[in-house]
Amino acid sequence: MSLALSGIHHVTAVGGDPQKNVDFYTQVLGQRLVKKTVNFDDNSVYHMYYGDEVGHPGTIMTFFPFPDIRRGRIGNGQVAVTSYAVPLGSLDFWRERLSSYHCTVFEPSTRFGEEALVFTDHDGTMLELVATEEAGKVAGWAGGPVPAEHTVRSFYGVTLWVADAPRTGRHLTEVLGWEQVGSEGARTRYRIADGNFATVVDVIDRPEQPRGMGGAGTIHHVAFRTPSEDDQEEWQVKLAEAGMNVTPVRDRQYFKSIYYREPGGVLFEIATDPPGFTLDEEVATLGTDLKLPPWLEDQREAIAQSLLPVEVREVDSV
C-alpha cells in the first residue's frame, strides 16, 4: 500500500482566558473536554483538547490558552478558518444559538454546492459550520448541551491563506497526495480521495497581502493523520527528500508528531492515530483531571499552582 494520509487529525489554536475557552467550546459549540494537560514545550500553559466522546482523530480542536496574551492577526501563512461538519438542516439552529451567546455570526454562503455559516469565538478565532450529508454518518458528542440532531460531528476541513496558492497546491498534490477537486474564484479545493470525513483543505490565493501574526484568535498549526509510527517515519524521509525542514519525532503522550512548514508558511504536523486519549483516563472521566506525561510528574505541584483553575460549567454568554 502506498504512503497516504487519512485526513485531519487535529487543529491547534492560541486562545486567551482559559475559563472562557472552556466555556465556549463545551457550552456554546458543545464539544467534550477530553483532555486537560499542559503545553509540553511550555508547561506554565494549559493544553486543552475538545472533541467527540473519546476524542477521535478528525474531531479534536486544541488550544494553548494564555491568560494575558494579545490578540493575533489572521493572515497569510496561517490556517485562517477551521470548518466543522454538521447535519443538513442544522444551520438555522446554529445561527440562532450562536447569536444567543452574542457571537459574531456572518451571513450563510454557498460554496461548492454546500451551505456554510462563518462565525468567531470569543477570541476572534474564525470558525465555520458546513451542512453536509456526510455529517449524518458520524456521531457527535451527545452528552453536551447541544441537541443530538444538531451536534458538530467532526471537522469538515481547513482554509489556508497563502501568497502563492499554486505553490502550496503543488505541495498538497505532489507530496501529500491530495487531489484538486475544484475552484471558485481565489479558492481552490483539495481533498483526500479515500477519506470519510475531515478531508478538505481549501487554499485561498492572497498575493501581496500581509502575513498573519500569532496571538489569541489565530491557528497555530493543523495536524494530519497517519496510522502508525512506521508510516510517520516514512513521512519524515519523504518530506526531507522534498526539501522540507521536518522536525524529529515529538512525543505528545496521546500521539507522536513531526512538524514542518509547507511552502506557503503554514505549520503542518503529521500525527499518529494511536495511542489516543484513553491512555491515562477512562472514557467516563475524560478531561476531568489535570493529566501530565511521566517526565513532568515530579513537577506536578508547581505546575498545578501556576495554572488558573478551570471547570466545565453552564454559561449564559461568552
Report if residue 313 sits inside a domain.
no
* DSSP-assigned letter for residue 215: S
Mean pLDDT for the stretch of residues 177-204 = 92
- CA angle 219-221-222, nearest 5°? 110
| Per-residue pLDDT tens digits for 80-116 | 999 999 999 999 999 999 999 999 999 999 999 999 9
Per-residue pLDDT reduced to its tens digit, 212-264: 999 999 999 999 999 999 999 999 999 999 999 999 999 999 999 999 999 99
pLDDT at 1: 47
Domain count, the chain: 1
Whole-number Å distance between alpha carbons of 67 and 22: 13
Region 41-47: what's the mean pLDDT? 96
SS3 221: strand
Residue 240 belongs to domain spanning:
8-306
| In-domain check, residue 3 | no
Mean pLDDT of the chain: 96
- pLDDT at residue 138 in the model: 84
Instruction: Output the domain CATH number for residue 80.
Output: 3.10.180.10
Q: What is the mean pLDDT of residues 185-210?
A: 92
| Inter-CA distances, 105 with 22, 81, 121, 152, 160, Å | 20, 14, 10, 17, 20
- Across the range 297-302, mean pLDDT stands at 97
- DSSP label at residue 248: P
Check if the beta carbon of residue 209 is closer than 8 Å to that of residue 146: no
Could you give the CA distance from residue 229 to residue 112 in angstroms, rounded to a whole number? 35
- pLDDT tops 90 at residue 2: no
What pLDDT digit, counting tens, does each position of 269-287 carry?
999 999 999 999 999 999 9
The answer on pLDDT for 139 being more than 90 is no
Q: What is the pLDDT of residue 124?
A: 97
Q: Report if residue 145 sits inside a domain.
A: yes
Give the pLDDT confidence of 18-32 residue by residue, as tens digits: 999 999 999 999 999
Query: How do 256-261 and 250-251 pair as beta strands?
Result: antiparallel
Decide if 227 is inside a domain. yes
Q: How much of the chain exceeds pLDDT 70, in percent? A: 99
Question: Residue 273 has which C-alpha cell?
Answer: 492515530
Split at pLDDT 50, 70, 90, the class of 194 is low
Tell me if 177 is assigned to some domain: yes
Judge whether 316 lies within some domain: no
Sign of the C-alpha dihedral computed for residues 145, 64, 118 and 172 taken in this order: negative
Residue 118 included in any domain: yes
